[in-house]
Amino acid sequence: MASELTKIEEALRKLQAQSGDSSEVSTAVSTDTRPATRRGSADIGRMTTPETWSPAQLEKRGLLDFFGPERQAANAFRQLRTSLVHRAAESNFVLAVTGVRQGSGTSFVARNLAAAFALDPTKTSVLVDCELGDRTNSRMTPGSGGVRGLTDYLRHEEMRVDQLIQPTGVSRLRVIPAGTLTQGAGELYTSPRMQELLGQLRGRYPDRFTILDVPPVIDNADGRILSELCDYTLLVVPYAGASEARVGRAMDIVGADRLIGTVVNNDPGGQS
């Protein structure tokens, strides 16, 4: 697990330099408590939560143990969460997590960032799996790739949003699986139904943060389309795995108004 996460601290320093923020949020939470709700919002406290995942179960799903020996790495995600919230002026948002190429570690970053948001008792998060070519997020839900999810919802008008959202063994973290369609499904991302879904996820729970695990924005039209649908984009760069020109091109594609930060992943000198 340590090899997957590394130089997030470097990205944090860049974010904090841009925002002037160096604060840390205390997140000593281990049970599912009912978050504060606002008028017109749904009550997440009524959602079913499975048994809390053990450290071994977290590792199997590519998640850090935020209260175990990986605490230094986990704290980096907490700080990243804090910086993102500060940059967004404390409001909830829809965030695309994408990479400069395949194999950047985007899914790992997306999963653990969503988990970091869920650790705060005043926040909830939902991880939306839009990476049809990488099924590692399927470990977050029972049934692996056979679970109906995003692609099924986009294709079938009769499906409701509440049929998509799956509970996890992390309090206040929900997942929308990629779904059963794996070929020809990417074109559905341009449909009005996709935009409506993101609007519902943002508006239904005012304290919910929506994290999309998105394909690379370079050489992949799906990644660019999804990034444009989100409020912000976080760019994952593999250590020594992409040229400066490629990184610059990815940043140009995302655009300065949407790019909220970068994370350098897989640095062999990093520690967790």
* pLDDT higher than threshold 60 for residue 19: no
pLDDT class for 24, splitting at 50, 70, 90? very low
pLDDT class for 77, splitting at 50, 70, 90? very high
Residue 143: predicted pLDDT: 58
Q: With helix as H, strand as E and coil as C, how does the chain read?
A: CCCCCCCHHHHHHHHHHHHCCCCCCCCCCCCCCCCCCCCCCCCHHHCCCCCCCCHHHHHHCCCCCCCCCCHHHHHHHHHHHHHHHHHCCCCCCEEEEEECCCCCCHHHHHHHHHHHHHHCCCCEEEEEECCCCCHHHHHHCCCHHHCCCHHHHHHCCCCCHHHCCEECCCCCEEEECCCCCCCCCHHHHHCHHHHHHHHHHHHHCCCEEEEEECCCCCCCHHHHHHHHHCCEEEEEEECCCCCHHHHHHHHHHHCCCCEEEEEEECCCCCCC
Mean pLDDT of all residues in the chain? 79
* pLDDT higher than threshold 70 for residue 196: yes
Residue 228: predicted pLDDT: 95
* pLDDT higher than threshold 90 for residue 186: no
* pLDDT higher than threshold 50 for residue 2: no
Residue 39: predicted pLDDT: 35
pLDDT class for 5, splitting at 50, 70, 90? very low
